[in-house]
Amino acid sequence: RAKNQGRHNYNFYTRELDTQLHERMTVDQAMRRGLENHEFLLHFQPRVELASGRIHSLEALVRWQHPEWGLVSPGRFIPLAEETGFILALGPEILRQVCQQIRAWEAAGLEAPPVAVNLSGREFQQKGLVERTLETLKETGVEPGHIEFEITESAAMRSVERTIRILSRMHEQGFHISIDDFGTAYSSLNYLKRLPVQAIKIDQSFVMDLGDDPDAHPEDAAIVRAIIGLGETLGLEVIAEGVETAAQQRFLLAHGCRIGQGFLFSRPQPAEVIAQYLPSRTKAIATQASRGRS
Ligand code: C2E
Ligand code: MG
Ligand code: MG
Ligand code: MG
């Protein structure tokens, strides 16, 4: 009996495993087909100056427009794409789309702000990343200074010496770099000091924990203040993620955080919607010219 039951359990788990493997393979195949069929698109979320609401930069966030499943959010496919390695095909396509979008906004007479692109740990570990990136920028005619790479704290800390080497080369080429989801990986401050990065992004969980009344959450408030203070000490820009309430905005501003992004200001939006918020280049030039005259 025990043997039968054991075998039964074995079969049960095998079947479940089969289903899981099958699903993963199905999704991986669907992603690969999706890439060929141009089903991946970008939304952009403004990062704003907390004091004025002006756009400081944008973050590009990928979505998958699947013919049957609809618009699939990255949380549902990026982890699998990392596991299967599909991200190594998708990542370069995302960067290319970002560059093409920057050129398209410029061609429409708009001022394209700097755009932040998320780099997954897997992409970051791949050989030739910097060369391929530069190649894409050259082909599309975008300056490295227009692009910022976001790498998560946990990915950055996986192999610190290597991270420092790669980020240094990116930095030399003129790219901006920020540490995403900061505060979630318990990284050594000693290492953080050595990374050639310009910004840290306070993970949205800390901002959300402030709730609608930061005074009512003294520990959470202390953590956010500590991260802002750390950024100041190291000379880094601090960007708050997940700002959803005016109280959070006020708290962040009051404690020296200049830049934020979150639903309070804007959800990630398609490029056409973002275009409505971008200043026109001719206006900018005209303003400069009139200033020059006066
Ligand atoms: P992330 O880079 O930390 O991006 C921030 C996520 O928080 C985005 O989710 C954004 O839509 C969401 N968010 C922004 N403001 C708020 C807010 O006020 N409240 C709440 N509740 N959420 C907010 P999204 O677009 O679903 O992306 C999830 C994650 O997927 C990203 O986290 C990033 O790790 C990954 N991801 C997205 N696009 C890419 C990409 O192009 N490449 C790679 N490698 N990863 C990506
Ligand atoms: Mg990010
Ligand atoms: Mg983040
Ligand atoms: Mg995240």
Mutate to test the pocket of ligand 1, among 39, 44, 241, 266 (most ligand atoms within 8 A of CB): 241
- Inform me whether the pLDDT recorded for 191 exceeds 90: no
pLDDT digit string, tens, across residues 73-93: 999 999 999 999 999 999 999
- Inform me whether the pLDDT recorded for 187 exceeds 90: no
- Inform me whether the pLDDT recorded for 205 exceeds 70: yes
Q: How far is the CA of 57 from the centre of ligand 4 (A)?
A: 18
Out of 20-24, 157-161, 174-178, 288-292, least confident range:
288-292
Q: Above pLDDT 90, what percent of the chain?
A: 80
Do 156 and 166 touch, CB atoms closer than 8 A? no
Neighbours of ion ligand 3 (CB under 5 A): 180-181, 241
State residue 3's pLDDT score: 44
Residue 165 φ/ψ, nearest 5 degrees: -60, -50
Rounded average pLDDT over 210-217: 90
Do 283 and 108 touch, CB atoms closer than 8 A? no
Ligand 1 atom with the shortest distance to the CA of 261: 15
Rounded average pLDDT over 152-171: 94
Mutate to test the pocket of ligand 1, among 78, 181, 252 (most ligand atoms within 8 A of CB): 78
Q: How far is the CA of 205 from the centre of ligand 4 (A)?
A: 9
Neighbours of ion ligand 4 (CB under 5 A): 181
Half-sphere exposure of 289 (CA within 13 A, CB side): 6
Average pLDDT of the chain, as a whole number: 91
State residue 16's pLDDT score: 75
Ligand 1 atom with the shortest distance to the CA of 152: 34
Q: How far is the CA of 63 from the centre of ligand 1 (A)?
A: 10
Residue 1: pLDDT band by 50, 70, 90 thresholds?
very low
pLDDT digit string, tens, across residues 106-145: 999 999 999 999 999 999 999 999 999 999 999 999 999 9
Q: How far is the CA of 294 from the centre of ligand 4 (A)?
A: 47
State residue 24's pLDDT score: 83
Q: Please give the full DSSP string across the chain, using - where no structure is assigned.
A: -HHHHHHHHHHHHHHHHHHHHHHHHHHHHHHHHHHHTT-EEEEEEEEEETTT--EEEEEEEEEEEETTTEEE-GGGTHHHHHHHSTHHHHHHHHHHHHHHHHHHHHHTTBPPPPEEEEE-HHHHHSTTHHHHHHHHHHHHT--GGGEEEEEEHHHHTTTHHHHHHHHHHHHHHT-EEEEEEETSS---HHHHHHS--SEEEE-HHHHHHTTT-GGG-HHHHHHHHHHHHHHHHHT-EEEE----SHHHHHHHHHTT--EE-STTT---B-HHHHHTTSPBHHHHHHHHHHHHH-
Ligand 1 contacts (CB < 6 A) are 45, 60-62, 73-75, 78, 94, 118, 120, 150, 180-181, 204, 241-244, 261-263, 268
For ligand 1, atom 20, the nearest C-alpha belongs to 242
Ligand 1 atom with the shortest distance to the CA of 150: 2
Task: Give the integer Cα–Cα distance in Å for 236 and 39.
Answer: 36
- Inform me whether the pLDDT recorded for 33 exceeds 70: yes
Looking at per-residue pLDDT, the higher value among 253 and 187 belongs to 253
For ligand 1, atom 7, the nearest C-alpha belongs to 242
